[in-house]
Structure 1
Amino acid sequence: MALRRCWRFSGLVPRLLWRSPIPPGSSIGGRSTSVPSFANTYRCYKSTGVRWFGSQLSHTDVSYEQLKQLLDGQKTVVIDVREPWELREYGFIPGSINVPLGHVITALQLDPDEFREKYDAELPQQTDNIVFICLAGVRSKTLSNKALNSKEFKQYK
């Protein structure tokens, strides 16, 4: 019974905070409140996808046209993180390297000869631009975020 009441209360608190009737800058009992700023942060996050208190994203989403320019101009390596059966079923970008998502961390730490033997391509250099791709963009974005925040990937930024 007590658990049911706590459960109801826990669902009520976020709704009260996000729909707070307290106007911004007001105070309760002589103390200022942070409830409106939290509510505004949540609304900003829902509309823009970026949290007010978060830092800017340091990775870049690449459009098709940008990818074509990158592949034509600079040294860019495209790593497809889909499973091999997905490549057979949905196709692939010519020149991309297929390294399934679960193998990327260990693959980028292999010796160049081992990488060439296993993936039939050259190991990306530290100066190369690396573009991760997948079918819907979820896995590649997850890997990009992990690459930018992980010690294993610092040399591949």
Structure 2
Amino acid sequence: MLRSFASQVPRVSSVAASSTTAAGNQCLRNLSTANQKYAQCQQQQQRPLNRRLEVDLHELTMMQCLEDLTLIDVRQPAELQFQEQIPGSVHIPLGNLRDAFQLSEADWQQKFNTAKPNKINKGIIFYARGPIASSAAVEIAHKLGYKKSRHYVGGWEDYCIQNNIPFLKVNGDSTAPGLSSEDDDSTIKQHYNYHYYNPDLHYL
């Protein structure tokens, strides 16, 4: 009977070792994902800017201090359930941008509680989570005659990293600056569609 019991011991140890190995592999995968995200952010910051179409956080901050811009957030409403906005920005989802710029000055003022940007004298800076939606916004604006418009390439992700603030809204649980958990990140990405159109925000 003792021999029978002893024969089971290696099997238990084997199962425990297997579980430990699996947990360790998962930790390594999570660490690798975090490192990849950080490396992507660093690479984006090191890439030379096209000053004709792009700005970094330093230039954006200077323009805000001089009150020489209209800052427009083109993310979807669903994204703003999880993320904050850069102070002083106006929220116009990308899918509504073209119609918004066709508003009269009076209607723009009423909708956004700020003056409509001038095509000649005042710059427009777009931003989103990263560079994709904001670059599309620049293309739309240029076609409508707003040739001074540019975009903040790093977007909300870079803003969080540079200012050492959480990437997601803090609801009891803190989130590391600039990085979200894998679960939260996938939840947000389910809503991504940068040709998003919300009829409730459509300007007739």
Q: What TM-score do you get using the length of structure 1 for normalisation?
A: 0.55
Are 1:81 and 1:98, in contact at CA under 8 Å, matched by a contact in 2? Answer: yes
Report what 1:128 is aligned to. 122
Can you list the C-alpha shifts for 1:112-152, whole angstroms capped at 9, x where unaligned?
Answer: 2211222232211221110010011200012213433x2x2
1:108 aligns with 2:120: no
Correspondence list, 1:23-102, <5 A:
59-102=52-95
Equivalents in 2 of 1:147, 1:113: separation in Å? 19
Equivalents in 2 of 1:93, 1:75: separation in Å? 16
Name which structure has the greater RCO, CA cutoff 8 Å, separation 6+.
2
1:58 to 1:72, Cα distance in 2 relative to 1, 3 A:
closer
Are 1:79 and 1:98, in contact at CA under 8 Å, matched by a contact in 2? Answer: yes
Q: Which runs of 5+ in 1 are unaligned?
A: 1-56
Report what 2:171 is aligned to. none
Are 1:80 and 1:132, in contact at CA under 8 Å, matched by a contact in 2? Answer: yes
Report what 2:135 is aligned to. 141
1:61 shift after superposition: 1.7
Are 1:59 and 1:144, in contact at CA under 8 Å, matched by a contact in 2? Answer: no
SS in structure 2 at match of 1:90: coil
Equivalents in 2 of 1:129, 1:66: separation in Å? 12
Task: Determine which of 110, 121, 126 is the counterpart of 1:117.
Answer: 110
Are 1:59 and 1:145, in contact at CA under 8 Å, matched by a contact in 2? Answer: no
Q: Which runs of 5+ in 2 are unaligned?
A: 1-49, 149-204
Q: CA RMSD in A?
A: 2.2
1:82 shift after superposition: 0.9
Can you list the C-alpha shifts for 1:64-106, whole angstroms capped at 9, x where unaligned?
Answer: 1111011112511101111223223110011101011011111
> 4+ runs of 1 displaced by more than 6 Å?
none
1:155 to 1:143, Cα distance in 2 relative to 1, 3 A:
closer
1:155 shift after superposition: 4.3
Report what 1:6 is aligned to. none
